[in-house]
């Protein structure tokens, strides 16, 4: 009987009681005069949300809905302000990305490209994981990481069954876990390479005025190293249980031959896809923001009949959209109540005046990494980057010495689904559980911080302004 009780008392079962206890503990701890009541309550709600999401005590979307009505009840934000997370442009980028992915899948273009790519890179699990990581990595240096991931998502869903994996959505395949997280993490790491790779990079570039090419001199090496780390680490943490594609190259050749020449629908899908990518790459010239581009691409697929609204209803993960909107709402509350700024300023002040550059760099990066797991990295970089530039100027340091590593830290979003849309979408496939995302994400974050600091102190040093 006791054994049964122990089995039933899982982290999931205890999640809500623990979350409630954590909330009240944070509320009763005195946090100083510089923090308002609403800011204090926002930090307590953050503790509640992290435990609820990590334990999956309720569906992630349900926890997000709870956060919405708790904010006005607790006096953190009005309901009108609480739901502002659902007006965040990243939500529409996710919706557009889902619809693009569905069009690529439904048209058959994903299947054709999958077989063509596997024929080129090989039929082993290792090379398939390599292709997943580097495909999104190279794309996300130039376009939004959400879109890079969304484009590869239907291809991964085509590849996994070819290796004899059944019911990957039940979370029973190491190969599927490595593939889906490889694409997600690859899209994050690829963004480090250029100033347009991520929103925090753009924020740092705006404040530091570093030339585009100078960023690439240190950004591209960091990005490539992180992509290799992603490939090798995921292959080690989730050793593939499969040996290769069943039937090898013969299967690929037969399938490609049976598919015949490219269909009219596939051609339309490809034209719209390349047109959309072209708009993303040229946003600096056209002035059309990346969120609008995602909706332009989605609308074109509807207009041309490649997909219909029923496809969107069935294949856009609306629960994931609600979850992410709730996470963004909490992030906005931390920002608007001054809780995030209070915590950051207090921690930096506590370090005193005679502190090494590396220590301040590490502290700011750790703060960035912690907060980026639960709030919009755009909002976070809006707080951290100006603070970093001010600190550097006060110390007579190069203007980008803190701002650049902080911007990169804001994109080390490897640990939780709420940290980044691509991680949320990877979780939404069912291939991987939250505890497995943490298992891979924690070492990725640690390695990312170490590599960034090393590169900032070596290759990047002459180019930081």
Q: 252 in a domain, yes or no? A: yes
Taking residue 243's Cβ as centre, other Cβ atoms within 10 Å add up to 11
User: DSSP readout, 190-245?
Assistant: HGGGSTTSSHHHHHHHHHH---HHHHHHHHHHHHHHHHHHHHHHHHHHS--S--S-
Q: 334 in a domain, yes or no? A: no
* pLDDT tens digits along 300-343: 999 999 999 988 888 777 887 887 788 778 878 887 888 877 87
Q: Report the pLDDT averaged over residues 425-441.
A: 92
CA quadruple 176, 112, 230, 403: dihedral sign = negative
User: DSSP readout, 58-106?
Assistant: S-HHHHHHHHHHHHHHHTSS-HHHHGGGGG-HHHHHHHHHHHHHHHHHH
Minimum mean pLDDT range among 146-150, 295-299, 421-425, 436-440: 146-150
> Could you tell me the pLDDT band of residue 379, with boundaries at 50, 70 and 90?
low
> Do residues 215 and 205 touch, judged by C-beta distance below 8 A?
yes
Q: Tell me how far apart the alpha carbons of residues 252 and 242 are, in angstroms, rounded to a whole number.
A: 17
Q: Tell me how far apart the alpha carbons of residues 331 and 333 are, in angstroms, rounded to a whole number.
A: 5
Q: Is the pLDDT of residue 3 over 80?
A: no
**Mean model confidence pLDDT for the chain:** 84
Q: Is the pLDDT of residue 443 over 90?
A: yes
* pLDDT tens digits along 94-122: 788 788 878 887 888 877 776 777 777 77
Q: 211 in a domain, yes or no? A: yes
Q: Tell me how far apart the alpha carbons of residues 320 and 171 are, in angstroms, rounded to a whole number.
A: 17
Q: How far is CA 365 from CA 197, 368, 388, 389, 412, in A?
A: 18, 5, 10, 14, 9
Q: Is the pLDDT of residue 372 over 50?
A: yes
> Do residues 130 and 121 touch, judged by C-beta distance below 8 A?
yes
Q: Which of 139, 154, 140, 144 is nearest to 92 (CA)?
A: 144
Q: Is the pLDDT of residue 32 over 80?
A: no
Strand, helix or coil for residue 198: coil
Q: Tell me how far apart the alpha carbons of residues 406 and 413 are, in angstroms, rounded to a whole number.
A: 13
Q: Can you state the percent helix, strand and coil of the chain, rounding each to 5?
A: 75, 0, 25
Q: Report the pLDDT averaged over residues 214-227.
A: 92
Q: Is the pLDDT of residue 31 over 50?
A: yes
> Could you tell me the pLDDT band of residue 376, with boundaries at 50, 70 and 90?
low
Provide the terminal-to-terminal Cα distance of the chain, rounded to the nearest Å.
67
Q: Is the pLDDT of residue 377 over 80?
A: no
State the pLDDT at residue 70: 94
**Segments in 396-429 forming alpha helices (H):** 403-409, 421-428
Taking residue 65's Cβ as centre, other Cβ atoms within 10 Å add up to 15
Q: Which residue has the tokens 């290769």?
A: 244
Q: Is the pLDDT of residue 274 over 70?
A: yes
Q: 166 in a domain, yes or no? A: yes
> Could you tell me the pLDDT band of residue 437, with boundaries at 50, 70 and 90?
very high
Q: Report the pLDDT averaged over residues 248-257.
A: 73
DSSP state of 169: G
What range does the domain containing 292 cover? Answer: 90-315
Q: Tell me how far apart the alpha carbons of residues 324 and 60 are, in angstroms, rounded to a whole number.
A: 9
Q: 286 in a domain, yes or no? A: yes
Q: Report the pLDDT averaged over residues 433-458.
A: 94
> Could you tell me the pLDDT band of residue 4, with boundaries at 50, 70 and 90?
very low
Name every residue whose Cβ is closer than 8 Å to that of residue 218 and which is 6 or more positions away in sequence: 455, 456, 459, 460, 463
**Segments in 316-402 forming alpha helices (H):** 318-336, 339-350, 357-372, 377-395
> Do residues 272 and 297 touch, judged by C-beta distance below 8 A?
yes
> Could you tell me the pLDDT band of residue 442, with boundaries at 50, 70 and 90?
very high
For the chain, the residue count is 465
* pLDDT tens digits along 168-215: 888 889 999 999 999 999 999 998 988 878 878 877 887 888 887 888
Q: Report the pLDDT averaged over residues 345-367.
A: 79
Highest mean pLDDT among 117-131, 197-211, 404-418: 404-418
> Could you tell me the pLDDT band of residue 271, with boundaries at 50, 70 and 90?
very high
Q: Tell me how far apart the alpha carbons of residues 250 and 280 are, in angstroms, rounded to a whole number.
A: 37
Highest mean pLDDT among 142-151, 186-195, 231-240, 246-255: 231-240
User: DSSP readout, 233-261?
Assistant: HHHHHS--S--S-TTHHHHHHHHHHHH-S
Q: Is the pLDDT of residue 415 over 70?
A: yes
Q: Tell me how far apart the alpha carbons of residues 442 and 447 are, in angstroms, rounded to a whole number.
A: 9
User: What is the chain's alpha carbon radius of gyration, rounded to the nearest angstrom?
Assistant: 22
Tokens for 461, please give them: 């040093």
Q: Is the pLDDT of residue 8 over 50?
A: no
How many separate domains does the chain show? 1
Name every residue whose Cβ is closer than 8 Å to that of residue 380 and which is 6 or more positions away in sequence: 200, 331, 340, 368, 371, 372, 410
State the pLDDT at residue 6: 43
Highest mean pLDDT among 2-6, 225-229, 417-421: 225-229
Q: Report the pLDDT averaged over residues 163-167.
A: 86
Name every residue whose Cβ is closer than 8 Å to that of residue 83 and which is 6 or more positions away in sequence: 68, 325, 329
Q: Which of 277, 307, 304 is nearest to 293 (CA)?
A: 277
Q: Which of 421, 348, 423 is nearest to 383 (CA)?
A: 348
- SS3 of 105-164: the string is HHHCHHHHHHHHHHHHHCCCHHHHHHHHHHHHHHHHCCCCHHHHHHHHHHHHHHHHHHCC
Task: List phi, psi (to 5°) of 91.
Answer: -60, -45
> Could you tell me the pLDDT band of residue 5, with boundaries at 50, 70 and 90?
very low
Q: Is the pLDDT of residue 2 over 80?
A: no
> Could you tell me the pLDDT band of residue 9, with boundaries at 50, 70 and 90?
low
């Amino acid at each position: 009987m006791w054994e049964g009780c122990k089995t039933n008392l899982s982290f999931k079962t205890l999640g809500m009681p623990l979350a409630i206890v954590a909330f009240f503990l944070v509320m009763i701890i005195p946090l100083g005069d510089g923090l308002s009541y609403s800011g204090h309550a926002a930090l307590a709600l953050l503790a509640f949300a992290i435990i609820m999401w990590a334990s999956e005590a309720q569906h992630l979307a349900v926890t997000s809905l709870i956060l919405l009505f708790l904010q006005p009840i607790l006096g953190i934000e009005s309901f009108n302000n609480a739901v502002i997370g659902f007006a965040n442009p990243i939500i529409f980028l996710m919706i557009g990305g889902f619809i693009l992915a569905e069009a690529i899948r439904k048209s058959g273009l994903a299947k054709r490209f999958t077989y063509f790519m596997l024929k080129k890179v090989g039929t082993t699990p290792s090379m398939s994981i390599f292709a997943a990581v580097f495909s999104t990595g190279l794309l996300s240096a130039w376009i939004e990481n959400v879109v890079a991931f969304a484009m590869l998502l239907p291809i991964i869903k085509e590849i996994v069954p070819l290796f004899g994996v059944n019911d990957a959505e039940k979370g029973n395949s190491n190969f599927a876990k490595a593939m889906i997280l490889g694409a997600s993490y690859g899209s994050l790491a690829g963004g480090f390479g250029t100033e347009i790779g991520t929103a925090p990079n753009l924020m740092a570039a705006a404040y530091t005025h570093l030339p585009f090419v100078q960023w690439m001199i240190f950004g591209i090496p960091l990005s490539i190293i992180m992509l290799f780390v992603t490939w090798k680490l995921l292959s080690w943490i989730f050793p593939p249980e499969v040996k290769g594609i069943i039937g090898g190259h013969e299967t690929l050749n037969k399938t490609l031959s049976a598919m015949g020449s490219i269909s009219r629908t596939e051609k339309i899908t490809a034209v719209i896809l390349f047109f959309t990518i072209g708009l993303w790459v040229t946003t600096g010239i056209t002035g059309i923001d990346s969120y609008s581009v995602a909706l332009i691409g989605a609308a074109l697929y509807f207009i041309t009949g490649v997909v219909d609204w029923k496809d969107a209803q069935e294949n856009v993960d609306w629960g994931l959209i609600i979850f992410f909107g709730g996470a963004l709402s909490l992030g906005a509350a931390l920002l608007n109540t001054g809780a995030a700024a209070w915590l950051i300023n207090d921690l930096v002040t506590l370090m005193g005046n005679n502190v090494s550059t590396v220590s301040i760099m590490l502290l700011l990066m750790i703060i960035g990494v912690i907060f980026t797991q639960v709030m919009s990295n755009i909002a976070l970089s809006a707080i951290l980057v100006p603070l970093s530039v001010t600190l550097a100027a006060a110390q007579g340091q190069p203007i980008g010495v803190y701002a650049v590593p902080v911007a990169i830290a804001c994109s080390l979003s490897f640990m939780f689904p709420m940290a980044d849309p691509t991680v949320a979408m990877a979780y939404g496939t069912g291939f991987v559980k939250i505890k497995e995302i943490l298992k891979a994400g924690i070492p990725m974050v640690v390695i990312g911080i170490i590599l960034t600091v090393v590169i900032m102190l070596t290759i990047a040093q002459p180019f930081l302004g």
